[in-house]
Amino acid sequence: MKIKEQDLKNISLLSKIKIDEETSNSLIKDLESILTMVNKMDELDTTKINPLTHPIENTQTMREDIEKKDFEREKLQELSKEKDSGFYLTPKVIE
């Protein structure tokens, strides 16, 4: 299966990861090799088969609508580099 430059651009945009000139060739090669292996599935006729998302569906877990506030904003925000007055900060976005 062939991967085009446009496919790489699209993947890069959707995943928010840069693909630079140098690595794009070897990346195409790697991806094509993986997708060729994956295409083996085409040998199987699965038209009458249902997709299986969860191997086991026995337990149905839900939660009561009861408030629990066992976290501290200050402690959680220690994890972030850029914050102010309780907000998380990012570069300015123009909508």
Task: Give the other-Cβ count within 10 Å of 78's Cβ.
Answer: 9
Give how many residues touch another protein by CB under 8 A: 69
For residue 25, state whether it binds another protein (rule: CB under 8 A). no
Cα 49 versus chain centre, distance: 26
Looking up tokens 């102010």 gives 84
Tokens representing 53 are: 């998302």
Select the residue interacting with another protein from 15, 21, 22, 25 (CB under 8 A): 15
For residue 39, state whether it binds another protein (rule: CB under 8 A). yes
Q: Which amino acid, residue 24?
A: S
Using CB under 8 A as the criterion, which residues of the chain lie in contact with another protein when the complex forms? 3, 7, 10-11, 14-19, 27, 30-31, 33-35, 37-44, 46, 49-71, 73, 75-82, 84-95
